[in-house]
Structure 1
Amino acid sequence: MDKNALIEHIKDKNQHLTMRRVLDKLERVVGKYSIEFTDFLDPYQRKLCYSFINRFQEVSFFEDGGLENSERKSIIIFPSYMDRSDVLSPIQALRIDGSFKFRELTHRDYLGAIMSLGIKREKIGDILIHKDYGNIITFKEIADYIKFNLDMINREPVVITEVESFELEEAQDDFIEKSLTLSSFRLDVFVSAICNLSREKSSSLIKNGYVKVNWQTIDLISKEVHENDMISIRGFGRTKVSMILGKTRKDRYKVVVKIIK
C-alpha cells in the first residue's frame, strides 16, 4: 500500500498524520482481514478519509457517533465479505447526572474534566448537554475508565451510567442570534465582525491557522463565506452563518449569525 500516493491529493498538510493513522487501520483490514475503527473524526476529516477508502473494493465501512446527526464520528472498517450486522460498533454512550440545577455546566466543563483524566480529544465524540444531565460519546474500551475516575465536573459531584445509543436525544445548541452588516463575504470581514476585532487582527488569526470554515483550517483571508457555513475561531468559539438577507441601501450585506456558546 503506497500511503504517500493515497494522500498526495490532500493539500491540507495538517491532516496528513491523521490520514496516515487511518491508512494504517485500512492496511490491517486489507492484509489481515481484521475489523478496525478510527478515532472520532469531524465531517471534514471523514470526507478526506473517504477519498481513499472508497478506492478499496475489498473493504466495507460505516460510521457511528451515537446519533445519526452526530458531528464527530468514528469510521468502522471491515472486510467486504462480512455482513454489516455482524460488525459491532465500538461506540459507548455515557450519561452524566449531578446537581446541575445549581450550576449550569458547559461543553468546555465536560471536555476539560475528561481530558484532565489523560484522555485525548480524539477519543471523545459529541458531548450532548441537556437541562438536567449530559451525555458523552466515547469508545467502549475506555468507558469504564471514565466511569470509575470521573467523579466531579467543575466541583460538582457526578454519577455516570452507560446508556444505549437509542436512548440518546439530540441537544439543542445554546446560541445567541446576532445581526451583522458587512461590506463583503470575505472571511476576514466575518471574523472581524464576529469577534469585534480590527481587520488587521482578524487577518492575523486567519493567517496563523486559528480559523476553520466547516472544520477545515483556512489561511486565506479572502475566502468567501456562504450561508450555513460553520466558522470556528480559536479562543472565540463557533458561529454558524444562519441567513444572508440581502443588501442594504448603502450596498452592504445583512447577515444573521448564530454564535454558539
Structure 2
Amino acid sequence: MINDKKKYLEHIDDKEEIITLRKLLDDIEIVMRDKIVIATNFLNPYQRTLCYSLLNRFIDISYHEEGGYEDAERKVIIIYPDYLKYTKLDDFISVFKITTSYDFSDLSHKDILGSLMGLGIKREKIGDIIILKDFAEIIISKELKDYISFNLKKISNQTAIINEIDKEDIIIIKPKYKEIQTTISSLRLDVLIAAIFNLSRKNSSDIINSGKVKVDFKPIDNVSFKLNGGELISVRKKGRVKFEGILGESKKGKYRILIHKYIG
C-alpha cells in the first residue's frame, strides 16, 4: 500500500534511526490496510519529531502521543484510522508503583532500569522511570504488565513490591539541578561542554567526535555546532545540562550564560 518506502526516508540523515522509521512505515501501512490501532515503542522527543515528519504525510491516519503524563520524556505514538475518535481508543501503557522491603533511598534509576532489562525487557518497551523518596513509578507497555508483575522480584539486592496505579495518580517531581553562571568565548558546542564539565577544548572535542554527545536527544558529532539557548545537552557518563540562555555579552564578545546542571 505504501509504494517505495525508501523515498519516504530520503530526508533522514540519522542512519541509526532508519530502523525506527522503517518500522513506523510498516505500522502506518497496517493501520491503513486493516483499519486497526497500533502503538509504537517508547520514543524520545527527537525520535518522535522524526516520526511526525512521516506521519503528517498520510491523510488517512491520525496519531496521538502518550507517556503517562503531559511532560513525559519517553512516549509512545498511537496511530489509528482518521475516522476514529482518540477518546474511544484502548490504552497502551501501564503504570507501576514500586517500593522495596528495606531502604528504597539506596536505589537509583539505573538499578530499576537494570532490573527490568535483566528480565529480557527491551529499553524501548519502558517509558519514564520517576524516582521519589520512598518509591518509584515506572511506565511500561501494557503488553508487559502481567510479565513484570509475576517476574520482577528484586531490584538490586532488595525485594520489590509492585502495585499498578492509574495514570492520574502519577506523582510528578521537578528534576533537581545546580544553577551555574559562567562565561564562554563562543556558543560552539565544544566550548560549552569544556566550560561546564571542566575539560580542555581537546578533551571536549574528543568526546563530541566519539559520538558521546546529544543535543535535544539528537546525536551531534560536530564540534562547531552552534547553540542558541534552550537546548538539553547530554554527555555520556558525565550527565545532562540545560543551556537556559545568554545573560549578557561583554564588549569583547564573550557570553555570560546560565546553565542548569541536573543532579541525580
Q: TM-score range by the shorter chain?
A: over 0.9
CA contact (8 A) 1:100 1:132 kept: no
CA contact (8 A) 2:247 2:258 kept: yes
Residue 120 of structure 1: aligned partner: 122
Q: Secondary structure at the match of 2:120?
A: coil
Q: CA deviation at 1:164?
A: 0.8
CA contact (8 A) 2:42 2:74 kept: yes
CA contact (8 A) 1:64 1:76 kept: yes
Residue 171 of structure 2: aligned partner: 169
Q: Map of 1:171-250 to 2, 5 A cutoff? A: 171-248=173-250
Cα distance in structure 1, aligned partners of 2:175 and 2:113: 16
Listed one character per residue, the Cα deviations across residues 91-131 of structure 1 (whole Å, up to 9, x for unaligned) are 10111112575634222222122112111111111111111
Cα distance in structure 1, aligned partners of 2:18 and 2:237: 24
Bigger shift: residues 243-252 or 78-87: 243-252
Task: Specify every segment of 5 or more residues in structure 1 that has no aligned partner in the other structure, as ranges.
Answer: none
Q: Map of 1:1-261 to 2, 5 A cutoff? A: 1=2, 2-98=4-100, 101=103, 103-248=105-250, 251-260=253-262, 261=264
Bigger shift: residues 97-106 or 14-23: 97-106
Q: Secondary structure at the match of 1:125?
A: strand
CA contact (8 A) 1:109 1:154 kept: yes
Q: Secondary structure at the match of 2:105?
A: coil
Q: CA deviation at 1:22?
A: 1.0
Q: What amino acid maps onto 1:105 in structure 2?
A: L
CA contact (8 A) 2:104 2:134 kept: no
Listed one character per residue, the Cα deviations across residues 157-211 of structure 1 (whole Å, up to 9, x for unaligned) are 2201111111112122132222322111100011112222221121122122211
Q: What amino acid maps onto 1:80 in structure 2?
A: D
Listed one character per residue, the Cα deviations across residues 27-74 of structure 1 (whole Å, up to 9, x for unaligned) are 111112121110001111111111111111111111100001111100
CA root-mean-square deviation? 1.7
CA contact (8 A) 2:101 2:161 kept: no
Cα distance in structure 1, aligned partners of 2:102 and 2:109: 13
Task: Specify every segment of 5 or more residues in structure 2 that has no aligned partner in the other structure, as ranges.
Answer: none
Cα distance in structure 1, aligned partners of 2:56 and 2:34: 18
Cα distance in structure 1, aligned partners of 2:182 and 2:225: 18
CA contact (8 A) 2:42 2:127 kept: yes
Listed one character per residue, the Cα deviations across residues 143-163 of structure 1 (whole Å, up to 9, x for unaligned) are 222222222222232201111
CA contact (8 A) 1:100 1:133 kept: no
TM norm structure 1? 0.94
Cα distance in structure 2, aligned partners of 1:202 and 1:100: 41
Paired positions, count: 261
Bigger shift: residues 50-59 or 152-161: 152-161
Q: CA deviation at 1:251?
A: 4.3
Bigger shift: residues 101-110 or 196-205: 101-110
Cα distance in structure 2, aligned partners of 1:31 and 1:205: 46
Q: What amino acid maps onto 2:232 in structure 1?
A: M
Q: Secondary structure at the match of 1:126?
A: strand
Q: How many percent of aligned residue pairs carry the same amino acid?
A: 43
Cα distance in structure 2, aligned partners of 1:102 and 1:14: 36
